[in-house]
Amino acid sequence: MARNVYLDMISLEEAKQRLETRFGARRVPQTRVASAQSSGRVLAEPVFARTSSPGYHAAAMDGIAVLAETTYGASEGRPKTLILGETAFPVNTGHRLPDGCDAVIMIEAVHEVSETEREIESPAFPFQHVRKMGEDIVATELLFPTGYRLTPYCVGALITAGIFEVVVLGLPRVLILPTGSELVALTEEGMPQPEPGRIFESNSHMLAAMVERDGGIAVRHPILKDDPEAIKARVRQAATEGFDLLLIIGGSSAGTEDYARQVVSECGTLLFHGVTIMPGKPVLAGEVDTMPVFGMPGYPVSTIVAFEQCLSPLLASLAGRPQEPKATLAVTPSRKVASKLGVEEFLRVKLGRVGATTIATPIAGGAGTLTSITEADGMVRIPAHVEGLAAGVEVACELLGPASDVDRTLVVVGSHDNTLDVIADEIRRTGGGVRLSSSHVGSMGGIMALKRRVCHLAGIHLLDPSDGSYNRSYVKKYLPGRALTLVNLVTRQQGLMVAKGNPKGITGIEDLTRQGVRFINRQAGSGTRILLDYRLKALGMDDKLIDGYTRDEYTHMSVAVAVLSGTADAGLGIYAAARALDLDFIPVVTEQYELLIDNDYIKSPMVDALFTTLRAQHFKERVLALGGYSTEMTGEVVATF
């Protein structure tokens, strides 16, 4: 079968306009629900009170009910005596006032004289400490207008006003149809790892949660194989089953087994296929027998962006709800970001406040990298008419979490180490709400981030080839005159990671130039790359003879994955990464991994929480359990500048 071609690529604005034109006037049919279960629902008609609240004059205090005029003249010097059952009547808060009474005197202001007599030393005034009839709600008055979204507080008002059932707009019913012969369904018992070429089907579960978050009712369909006739039959059937929306997952791209365009075109009307956004380009929309149908991309981040931009507004419209605008924050990118002209890009970023500036650090990862959005604090939209973002120029960022999180985030930029993940977990658990956000750009990247003042601290392990020392000479060279503190995080083992059993018989760096040995490197500027270059020079080896020297990754775990997957035979990294993926490890060097902290923040609550975490025994025990680390100096200040 021929591949699909995006013949009608349109802008996001045009896509939204087509959806609004086609479906904007539609509403889900109204229904009746019990008032007690109505929170979150949108009223389809106005609600008028049936009863007043209170429905009688009620005591607002514990005490005695009186006719105010019978108390006039009472004072400390001339107290007045009242007779129970005649001029004074005991009441509790909420009680109906006895006939002939119009005020309440608090129990604290009443003195007992005898079993039948009570004395007061100040007069009451009419309706003192009394909730008048209808003070809160008056029968027949408008409680809530049409289109009002009921809250938990409204539930109390409805029942108080004698309204036990309300007419509301219905909730959109959404059928989610995952397609793909490579998909493996999640069972209640769980599943072992799928065989090569198969993946767990997760998008339908994720989309169902998003539908329900936005006030819809999600119905997940079992996985359908890549069979266009079977998919067409199920789409036609869905159009007769009362669904308000259908999502076909995984068939909207340009592959030979992506059938969503064909199915929608043959069963109904195609509104568009392809939107100039990234991620999310392959999304398509159409209509089958009045039912809106969407083809959702198979890549998870693409489907998330497509849903948020196209589906979320439509669900709100169908349910008669206004869509709440996303909270935004002015942020400054930590570095220059390139973008493709003609495509609106949704850039995932980590956020943290450094000084008076909110720094946005871009997260690497394509449309299939789900962690690029689970780790993100916000989304920066790069318009289609610009080529990217300039470093240091403020832009708007849509928040994915509370704005308060930004002020509690410790921003770490630099070399990757597995212990940073342990710190992030421990500091969230014990640090009073402090978060740690780490970006892995290599040790020199961390030094430069500190130089640009876009982070609080940097993780570094830079070897000085002239004397074998770590970090100090680089700090003095690149950050002269800056007030900084160098703190030991760990001492760790660096070495060659190789496949289990070491099938290529690699014994050291000398073997990297052997025929048939494929290497995976770390990026230029990383401490690991500098270490490798230092050892190659000491051994008199030419890096051009290493197959894979120019192939690089940004983390030790990425290098380990490359070796595990068989795309490389060896990679230089830390023992903890090799152990995590059950690889063999050939030690090369023991090195210092240290944290370089800007002294502007050394006494801040966030850095205090960091020191507390580093020096805690529980943290050190977790680090030692990873393997390949020593924590004898963890948390110690080793130098100041």
What are the DSSP calls for 187-241, one per residue?
Answer: -TT--PPPPTT-EE--HHHHHHHHHHHTT-EEEEPPPB-S-HHHHHHHHHHHTTT
Separation CA 441–CA 361 (nearest Å): 11
Cis peptide before 279 (omega within 30 of 0): yes
Average pLDDT of the segment spanning 407-430: 91
Fold of 445-640: D-Maltodextrin-Binding Protein; domain 2 (3.40.190)
Alpha-helical regions (H) of 540-581: 556-565, 575-580
Tokens encoding 291: 């039912």
Q: Where in the chain is the domain with CATH 3.40.980.10?
A: 12-26+172-186+199-318
Fold of 327-401: Beta-clip (2.40.340)
Residue 107 and residue 90 in contact, taking contact as beta carbons nearer than 8 Å: no
Separation CA 379–CA 590 (nearest Å): 39
Residue environment code for 405-422, b if the CB has 16+ CB neighbours within 10 A, otherwise e? bbebbbbbbbbbbbbbeb
Residue 34 and residue 288 in contact, taking contact as beta carbons nearer than 8 Å: no
Q: How confident is the model at residue 1 (pLDDT cuts 50, 70, 90)?
A: very low
Listed residue (569, 599, 594, 596) closest to 584, CA to CA: 569
pLDDT value of position 100: 94
Average pLDDT of the segment spanning 543-567: 93
DSSP letter assigned to residue 470: B
Separation CA 225–CA 233 (nearest Å): 13
- How much of the chain exceeds pLDDT 70, in percent? 96
Type of residue found at 147: G
User: How many other β-carbons are positioned within 10 Å of the β-carbon of residue 48?
Assistant: 13
Pairing relationship of beta strands 629-630 and 484-498 according to DSSP bridges = antiparallel
Q: How confident is the model at residue 630 (pLDDT cuts 50, 70, 90)?
A: very high
Q: How confident is the model at residue 189 (pLDDT cuts 50, 70, 90)?
A: low
Coil, strand or helix at 621: helix
Tokens encoding 612: 């507390």
Q: Where in the chain is the domain with CATH 2.40.340.10?
A: 327-401
pLDDT value of position 409: 93
Separation CA 203–CA 205 (nearest Å): 5
pLDDT at 99 over 60: yes
Average pLDDT of the segment spanning 339-357: 92
Separation CA 140–CA 148 (nearest Å): 18
| Sequence-distant (≥ 6) Cβ neighbours of residue 516 within 8 angstroms | 504, 569
Separation CA 380–CA 331 (nearest Å): 9
Q: Tokens 């609080």 belong to which residue? A: 456
pLDDT at 457 over 50: yes
Type of residue found at 485: T
pLDDT value of position 509: 94
Residue 573 and residue 560 in contact, taking contact as beta carbons nearer than 8 Å: yes
Least confident of 42-56, 108-122, 358-372, 464-478: 358-372
pLDDT at 565 over 60: yes
pLDDT value of position 117: 93
pLDDT value of position 192: 64
pLDDT at 180 over 90: no
| End-to-end Cα spacing for the chain | 66
Least confident of 12-16, 41-45, 361-365, 445-449: 361-365
pLDDT value of position 2: 47
pLDDT value of position 254: 54
Type of residue found at 126: P
Listed residue (448, 452, 379) closest to 414, CA to CA: 448
User: How many other β-carbons are positioned within 10 Å of the β-carbon of residue 541?
Assistant: 17
Please give the backbone phi and psi of residue 499, each rounded to the nearest 5 degrees, phi first: -60, 155
Separation CA 412–CA 489 (nearest Å): 13
Q: How confident is the model at residue 188 (pLDDT cuts 50, 70, 90)?
A: low
250 dihedral zone (left: phi>0; alpha: psi -120 to 50; beta): left
Q: Which CATH class is domain 12-26+172-186+199-318?
A: alpha beta
Tokens encoding 50: 């049936």
Coil, strand or helix at 300: helix
pLDDT at 423 over 90: yes
CA atoms in the 13 A half-sphere facing the CB of 619: 28
Mean of all residue pLDDT scores within the chain: 91
- Positive or negative, the CA dihedral 114, 117, 121, 124 is positive
pLDDT at 365 over 90: no
Pairing relationship of beta strands 570-574 and 519-522 according to DSSP bridges = parallel
pLDDT at 558 over 70: yes
| Sequence-distant (≥ 6) Cβ neighbours of residue 102 within 8 angstroms | 57, 66, 67, 68, 126, 127, 130
Least confident of 165-169, 198-202, 337-341: 198-202
Type of residue found at 636: E
Q: Tokens 């904007």 belong to which residue? A: 24
pLDDT at 32 over 50: yes
134 dihedral zone (left: phi>0; alpha: psi -120 to 50; beta): left
pTM of the model: 0.80
pLDDT value of position 6: 52
Residue 437 and residue 425 in contact, taking contact as beta carbons nearer than 8 Å: no
Answer whether CATH 3.40.50.720 is correct for domain 30-53+136-169: no
Q: Where in the chain is the domain with CATH 3.90.105.10?
A: 30-53+136-169
Bridge-partner residues for 142, per DSSP?
A: 48
Average pLDDT of the segment spanning 11-25: 94
pLDDT value of position 510: 94
Q: How confident is the model at residue 4 (pLDDT cuts 50, 70, 90)?
A: low
| Sequence-distant (≥ 6) Cβ neighbours of residue 374 within 8 angstroms | none
Q: What is the CA radius of gyration of the chain?
A: 34
Residue 485 and residue 597 in contact, taking contact as beta carbons nearer than 8 Å: yes
pLDDT value of position 191: 61
pLDDT at 638 over 70: yes
Answer whether CATH 3.30.67.10 is correct for domain 58-131: no
Q: Where in the chain is the domain with CATH 2.170.190.11?
A: 58-131
